[in-house]
Amino acid sequence: MLRQEGKRRWFLVWYILPALVVYTAFMLVPIINSMRLSFFSGDGLIPNEFVGFDNYIKLFAEYPFNERFWNAFFNNIKFFVMVTLYQNILGFLMAVLLTRGLRFSAFLRKLSFIPTTLSVLVVGFLFSMIFNPVWGVFDQILRVLGLESLIRPWLGDRLTALPIVSMVVSWQFFGESIIFYTAGIDAIDDEMLEAARIDGAGFFSEIWHIILPSILPVVGIVTILIFVGDFTQFDIIYAMSTSMGNPGYSTDIFGSLFYRTAFSSPERGGWGMGMGAAVATIMFVFVFVGVGLFLIFFNRRRSKLS
Amino acid sequence: MITIHRRWARLVSYGLMVFYAAVILFPLYLMLITSLKDNRQIFTRPFAFPNPIEFGGYLRVFTVAHYGIYFKNSTVITLCALALIVFLSALASYALAKYEFRGKTAIYVYFVLGLIVPIRLGTIGILKTMIGLTLFDTIWSLVIVFVAMGIPLGVFILYDFIRMIPEELSHSARIDGCNEHMIFRRIVVPLSQPALATVAIVNFIPVWNDFWFPLILIRSNEVRPVPLATALLFGQFETNFGMVFAVLSLASLPVMTFYLLLSRYFIKGLTKGALKG
């Protein structure tokens, strides 16, 4: 019996090892490697001069690096707040609407996920055409509605570029919110909702007191997905405002900054692999701490409520 | 079931639903009809259905831009990556779900942690490794990265599913003289087929659509997958609108069709974790 146990254990290694090796070698090790490289400087692919925290000090406090870095940081925060508003809050409300047993809601739930299946790049290009000043389908719609005075170069204006990009990302991933929230709401006990209604709860008090507390874990998951997605987003910026974050870096976020810093030539904003690694490391720490805080927050709220 | 009684509430609800459906569909409609027009139609009647329907854009995408190569590359990359994700995740999940040993929970958590770790942040390390392995600028570099990217979700879905398979089945198979490999092949794999399909389907979208890793790891034209080719062609044919929209439609139609055929699996696979809490 014992010998058989021992034999069983050995075969387990062969079952787990392949997945473990690929996952470790191409996910964990590269991230650790990047962290290590962030303490080095030098030209080319392999920075070899140890510089301690110099790369970080440059990023935080030395012109022009600090200007680019903090600009990307605050843009990214704005981007995240706007996407949260559109995709998370409006997405939640739409999901509530689609779980009320209205006709066509099953169809709309299915439909809502189509944009999410597309490549972010394609969606970015598609909307850059729609907002394009030459073809300007969006401007033509405004003209039809008699709102001609609003027309402007949407993606060329510092004021409107980032909000438009946030709206496009939300358009694409709205379906993700719908799918998660409708699944969460469907799982709520009908009797609980019935009871609330008998007690005379209105629509909004029902949302606030029954639906929201019941699906808090789902709210947590959607929020974390948006958070991680937004703070590593790159494709949409590349497609709609190039990796430079046009116009004038007004749409530059962490993802595009990382790409330029690490992989672009110096004249296109490259600062070398060491600096790129430092940007990636800061992003990693930020995302990790952020996710941790969200987890703590949503768990606290849950234990308070139950 | 809940119903809204008041009439106006119903009206507002349907109004919102129609508006939402229009917001989803209009850009996609625009993309498809524009891809079937010539430049004159695109500028004079941007919203109208194409008349006559022009296939010129598509034709040029395949003849001038050799789109077939990119499509083949993406197909090979996606099929290899999905097969490996399913295979490796199934092996690991089986061992983790059906046997007791020290560190098993730690290994499971380690795998699942990958769900929130953005693999992009290791790109510099990945680039170095791929150059070291002389896989830079080959489709195999992408296959490997996508496998690493897909394993966390694969293990997450399969672990729970395989754990639910009744232990009696493997027990009686053991009495009949089956060894552990045979149990995996003859009992676990056939019974897990719906979950294995879910893993492949859910990973299909991120793998097919990924643009970041091809952008970093691929240089030569012959090994470009569809998203990288899309970016290139978009820049190259910017003024030929029909062709640009044909490129965008071609990149989207496979995934959209795939989703519409298998939407049930997508939704189940994606929301599985959310409901467990």
Q: Would residue B59 count as lying in a domain?
A: no
What's the DSSP call for residue B222? G
> How far is residue A164's CA from residue A128's CA, in Å, rounded to a whole number?
10
For chain A, the domains span 73-305
pLDDT in tens, A98-144: 998 899 999 999 999 999 999 999 999 999 999 988 888 899 999 98
Confidence tier at A306 by pLDDT (50, 70, 90) = low
Residues B164 and B207 in one domain: yes
The reply to whether B44 and B146 lie within a common domain is no
Residue whose C-alpha is closest to residue A159's, from A88, A83, A75, A223: A75
Q: Tell me: the pLDDT tens digits for A231-276?
A: 999 999 999 999 999 999 999 999 999 999 999 998 888 999 999 9
Instruction: State whether A111 and B274 contact (CB < 8 Å).
Output: no
Q: Which fold has domain A73-305?
A: MetI-like fold (1.10.3720)
DSSP B127: H
- pLDDT confidence of B5, banded at 50, 70, 90? low
Q: What average pLDDT does the segment B91-106 reach?
A: 92
Whether B41 is covered by a domain: the verdict is yes
Of the given ranges (A11-25, A89-103, A200-214, B73-87), which has the lowest mean pLDDT?
A200-214
Same domain, B12 and B105: no
- Please compute the mean of the pLDDT values over residues A41-55 and round it to a whole number: 84
| This model's pTM is above 0.90 | yes
Report percent pLDDT > 70 for chain A: 96
What is the rounded average pLDDT for all residues in chain B?
A: 91
Cβ-Cβ pairs closer than 8 A, A with B, add up to 256
The DSSP H or E segment spanning B37 is: none
- So what's the pLDDT on residue A205? 85
Residue A277: pLDDT above 80?
yes
Which pLDDT band, with edges at 50, 70 and 90, does B213 fall under? very high
B230–A122 C-beta distance less than 8 A:
yes
pLDDT at B72 over 80: yes
Alpha-carbon torsion (A193, A194, A196, A202), positive or negative = positive
- List chain B residues with CB under 8 Å of A221: 273-274
CA-wise closest residue to B207 among B277, B144, B257? B144
- Mean pLDDT value across residues B154-163: 94
Confidence category of residue A303, pLDDT binned at 50, 70, 90: confident
CA distance A279 to A289: 15
Burial of A256 by CB count in 10 Å (0-12 exposed, 13-18 middle, 19+ buried)? buried
Contact A154, A131 (CB under 8 A): yes
B251 lies in some domain: no
Ramachandran angles phi, psi of A40, nearest 5°: -120, 160
| ipTM, 2 dp | 0.92
Q: Is residue B217 part of a domain?
A: yes
Task: Match 């790109």 to its residue by tokens.
Answer: B123
Q: pLDDT tens digit string along A25-41?
A: 999 999 999 999 999 99
**B144 and B181 in a common domain:** yes
B26 has a chain A CB within 8 A of its CB: no
Q: How many Cβ atoms sit within 10 Å of the Cβ of residue A156? A: 15
Q: Which two tokens stand for residue B84?
A: 């490996």
Q: Which pLDDT does position A190 carry in this prediction?
A: 82
Give pLDDT, residue B3.
Answer: 52
Please give the residue range of the domain that contains residue B206. 66-237
Q: Is B150 in the A-facing interface, judged by CB distances under 8 Å? A: no
- Residue B266 pLDDT class (50, 70, 90 cuts): confident
Of the candidates B3, B47, B256, which has its C-beta nearest A101's C-beta?
Answer: B3
Shared domain check, B146 and B77:
yes
Q: Model confidence at A200, in pLDDT bands (50, 70, 90)?
A: confident
Residue in A24, A173, A161 with CA at minimum distance from that of residue A79: A161
Percent of all residues in chain B with a pLDDT value above 70, rounded to a whole number = 96
Are B150 and B23 part of one and the same domain?
Answer: no
- Within an 8 Å CB–CB cutoff, is residue B129 touching chain A? yes
Mean pLDDT calculated for residue range B200-228: 95
Per residue in A59-81, pLDDT tens?
999 999 999 999 999 999 999 99
* Res A6 pLDDT > 60: no
pLDDT band, very low/low/confident/very high, at B153 (cuts 50, 70, 90): very high
Residue B216 belongs to a domain? yes
What is the three-state SS of A33-100? HHHHHCCEECCCCCCCEECCCHHHHHHHHCCCHHHHHHHHHHHHHHHHHHHHHHHHHHHHHHHHHCCC
pLDDT at B275 over 70: no
Residues 248-277 of B with CB under 8 A from A: 248, 251-252, 255-256, 258-260, 263, 266-267, 270-271, 273-275, 277
Q: Is residue B50 domain-shared with residue B96, that is, in the same domain? A: no
Give the number of domains in chain B. Answer: 2
For residues B19 and B129, membership in a common domain is answered with no
B34/B138 same-domain check: no
> Looking at the complex, does the CB of residue A8 fall below 8 Å from at least one CB of chain B?
yes
Distance, in angstroms, between A30 CA and closest chain B CA?
4
HSE-up of residue B189 (Cα within 13 Å, Cβ side)? 14
Predicted confidence at residue A12, as pLDDT, reads 87
Higher-confidence residue of A108 and B180: namely A108
For residues A151 and A303, which has the higher predicted lDDT (pLDDT)? A151
Within 227-246 of B, beta carbons closer than 8 Å to A belong to 227, 230-231, 234, 241, 244-245
Residue B256 counted as domain residue: no
Best B2, B34, B121, B270 residue to mutate vs chain A (most A CBs within 10 Å): B121
Q: What is the DSSP letter of B171?
A: H
Q: What is the DSSP string of chain A?
A: -HHHHHHHHHHHHHHHHHHHHHHIIIIIHHHHHHHHHTTEE-SSSS--EE-TTHHHHHHHHSTTHHHHHHHHHHHHHHHHHHHIIIIIIIHHHHHHHTTS--TTHHHHHHHHTHHHHS-HHHHHHHHHHHT-TTT-HHHHHHHHTT-GGG---GGGSTTTHHHHHHHHHHHHHHHHHHHHHHHHHHTS-HHHHHHHHHTT--HHHHIIIIIHHHTHHHHHHHHHHHHHHHHT--HHHHHHHTTTTSSTTTT--HHHHHHHHHHS-GGGT---HHHHHHHHHHHHHHHHHHHHHHHHHHHHHHHHH-
Is the pLDDT at B276 greater than 60? The verdict is: no
Shared-domain flag, residues B163 and B231: yes
**What mean pLDDT comes out for the span B23-31?**
96
Q: Kindly state whether residues B90 and B115 are assigned to the same domain.
A: yes
- Bigger pLDDT: B245 vs B267: B245
Question: Which of B9, B116, B126 comes nearest A224 by C-beta?
Answer: B116
Same domain assignment for residues B92 and B183 = yes
Q: Is residue B191 part of a domain?
A: yes
Residue B245 falls inside a structural domain: no
The reported pLDDT for the residue numbered B277 is: 42
Residue B263, pLDDT > 90, answer: no
List CB contacts (< 8 A) between A140 and chain B.
Answer: 46-47
Helix H or strand E encompassing B108: helix B104-113
Residue A226's nearest CA partner among A290, A289, A276 is: A290
In Å, how far are A58, A70, A74 from A67, measured between CA atoms?
A: 10, 6, 11
At residue A8 the predicted structure's pLDDT band, cuts being 50, 70 and 90, is low
Q: Which pLDDT belongs to residue B1?
A: 42
Collect all residues of chain B within an 8 Å Cβ-Cβ radius of residue A118.
209, 251-252, 255-256
In angstroms, how far is CA A111 from the centroid of its own chain?
21
- Which one of A102, A125, A179 has the shortest CB-CB distance to B248? A125
More confident residue, A302 or B141: B141
